[in-house]
Copies of this chain bind each other. A is one copy, B any other.
Amino acid sequence: MSADPAVAIRSARRADVFAIVAMLADDHLGAGRERFEDPLPDSYYAAFDALQRSPQIRMVVAEDQDGRVVGCLQLAVLPGLSSQGASRAIIEDVRVARDCRSRGIGEVLVRWAIGQARDQGCRLAELFTHQSRVDAQRFYARLGFQPSHVGMTMRF
């Protein structure tokens, strides 16, 4: 893995939604959940607009030197009473374009999120990985995350 994958992290723009959904859909779990069509269903843009209005959430992309969006990550920093009133960071929807994996792009994204969490005074960063994503669990463990919790979910 390259130590410097030469990507820039920047806030996602509405024009990035198509590339982001492409990454979300190109995945063994996402394939059944997303609708990657041209044009995309309006629900994706409505969600993007809601993200933009949320002061506590940032959706970022990794852009390579050619200006292509090759990764994404959503970070929420939420207040809470536990741990002496510490905010916690929740990292979601981390994806790297299939042809750009193993170059350290995911690591740049997640280290960016950890840095943001620290800068904003969080005492805790959390993320869910599906039980089947064994490679992802190894990746996060290497970055310092502990598999301390069971992530329980209910789909409606």
Q: A residues touching B (Cβ–Cβ < 8 Å)?
A: 17, 20-21, 24, 30, 33-35, 41, 43-48, 50-51, 54, 56-57, 59, 74, 76, 78-88, 90, 92-93, 114, 117-118, 122-131, 137, 140-141, 143-156
Contact = CB atoms under 8 A, between A and B. Distances in A.
A15 to B, nearest CB: 14
Contact of A79 (B57, B82, B154): B57
A90 to B, nearest CB: 7
B79 A51 contact: yes
Contact of A81 (B44, B84, B130, B140): B44
Given A79-B47, A129-B149, A131-B149, A154 B84 contact: no
Nearest to A47: B85
Contacts of A81: 17, 20-21, 24, 44, 47-48, 51, 59, 74, 93
Given A54-B78, A80-B51, A84-B41, A147 B155 contact: no
Nearest 7 CB-CB pairs, A to B? A149-B151, A47-B85, A50-B79, A151-B151, A43-B85, A145-B152, A128-B149
A33 B145 contact: no
B149 A147 contact: no
A82 B43 CA distance: 10
